[in-house]
Chain A
């Protein structure tokens, strides 16, 4: 291999390495969450509250699964028909259950889901209060169990001058 060819290959390799740092507008990909121009942003606002049935951890707004694309289309159609957001959400709840909503309603069985952190905190608070009450009771019992003679000795030792305490 000649020195010139080696230099050319090195230059090409270096270019390959640094190329990710220089964005190429020809190869630019759209940001995944950018709404395509055919749907108004309101479609995505509603879709963001709905779980994608075919994917894990993605909303209907983010997913490109066929079912999510069709759900967005249904949202757009129903908005054009003048339906409210609540009516559109209910349309999907009737077919998929409350599972499809990222925020379940504040009533019925799902109320338990909303209240569970409060119930958990209340239980922890009750446990701490019981523990502290037991510790206080133990401390009181401890003092009551010490004889008068021992208390007198302790008090006399505490009242000693610092000089007298030295051995």
Chain B
């Protein structure tokens, strides 16, 4: 067996290189990717009720792609991400539904956050994060890219960069 030491060294080296090249070793693929997105309906936060009604959520008959963003006002990356999402919502609002889900937060803090970043894309309130668990979330922020047929195309854990967001939008609008 020791005669084959170069093969063992190559194997161990290959494994090491493969492990090092993963972007985030803690990030796991969502089991929901490629499966229908769970449907839900939750109370909308006050600023959006006049335009969208008292409740909103995801259902397979929406007829357009959805970018579901799970956020909380106490989450620091959510503060960086919010202006980016708002900018792209303005750009793509006719073709993609940007939908926020506020989890593990107070309504007052969520409203302050919305006011601070002048968010015009609708956000629903899920105080306990039950919908997050339905989607198998790990924490905030997390974004789910859902195509117009209601299938989850991708799950992004953590803050979105502009390039990543552009990539997901391209993917969902193909």
Report A's interface with B, CB cutoff 8 A. 53-54, 56, 65-67, 70-71, 73-74, 94-97, 99, 127, 130
Contact = CB atoms under 8 A, between A and B. Distances in A.
A39 to B, nearest CB: 15
Interface in B123-145: 128-130, 132-139
A70 B135 CA distance: 13
15 contacts: A53-B137, A54-B139, A56-B26, A66-B104, A66-B129, A67-B133, A67-B138, A70-B129, A70-B133, A71-B133, A95-B134, A97-B29, A97-B136, A99-B28, A130-B1
A154 B143 CA distance: 83
Q: Is the interface of B mostly helix, strand, loop or mixed?
A: loop
A71 B129 CA distance: 10
B31 A74 contact: no
Nearest to A53: B138
Nearest to B105: A66
A141 to B, nearest CB: 18
Contact of A95 (B129, B136, B139): B136
Given A66-B129, A96-B136, A97-B136, 5 more contacts: A67-B133, A67-B139, A73-B128, A96-B31, A130-B1
B110 interface: no
Interface string B88-123: 000000000000000110000000000000000000
Contacts, number: 44
> How many B residues are at the interface, by size bracket?
10 to 19
B42 interface: no
A2 B104 CA distance: 56
Contacts of B137: 53, 67
Q: 6 nearest interchain CB pairs?
A: A66-B104, A95-B136, A97-B31, A53-B138, A54-B139, A96-B136
Contacts of B28: 97, 99
Interface in B146-172: none
Contacts of A97: 28-29, 31, 136
B35 to A, nearest CB: 9
Nearest to A98: B31
A164 to B, nearest CB: 46
Nearest to B129: A70
A130 B29 CA distance: 42
A23 B132 CA distance: 41
B132 A67 contact: yes
A66 B104 CA distance: 7
B31 A67 contact: no
A53 B139 contact: yes
A20 B32 CA distance: 50
